[in-house]
Amino acid sequence: MAIRHPQAAEWLEAFRKIALGARWKNVVELRRTYPHADLVTVKSKRTVIVLNVARNKYRMIIAIHFNRQTLFTLRFLTHAEYSKGNWKSEL
């Protein structure tokens, strides 16, 4: 992601370090670190988390299994790509 979107590289590295050390138990705890984390229901009826990246230039869509302490990066999009909404039907 950082190679394709160098403007986000610093944010992504910081996120990686924070996520590796985090022990979030739920979305409330996640929002203590990332207050603007949004829950979005996608076509599959699953709920994903959308994070604003690099001063709102990008969106990272993630899924977290809080009970397993496992995080999956599902999509990394520019703000324009995210706004089109196509990603919702792909997940």
Q: Where are the alpha helices (DSSP H) in the chain?
A: 9-21, 27-33, 79-84, 86-90
* Class of residue 8 by CB neighbours under 10 A (exposed 0-12, middle 13-18, buried 19+): buried
H-type alpha helices, 1-85 = 9-21, 27-33, 79-84
Per CATH, which fold does 6-90 belong to?
YaeB-like fold (3.30.2310)
pLDDT tens digit at each of 91 positions of the chain? 878 888 999 999 999 999 999 999 999 999 999 999 999 999 999 999 999 998 889 999 999 999 999 999 999 999 999 999 999 999 9
Q: Cα separation of 5 and 77, whole Å?
A: 9
What pLDDT sits at residue 78? Answer: 95
pLDDT at 43: 95
Q: Do the beta carbons of residue 61 and residue 48 sit within 8 Å?
A: yes
The pTM of the full predicted model, rounded to 2 decimals, is 0.92
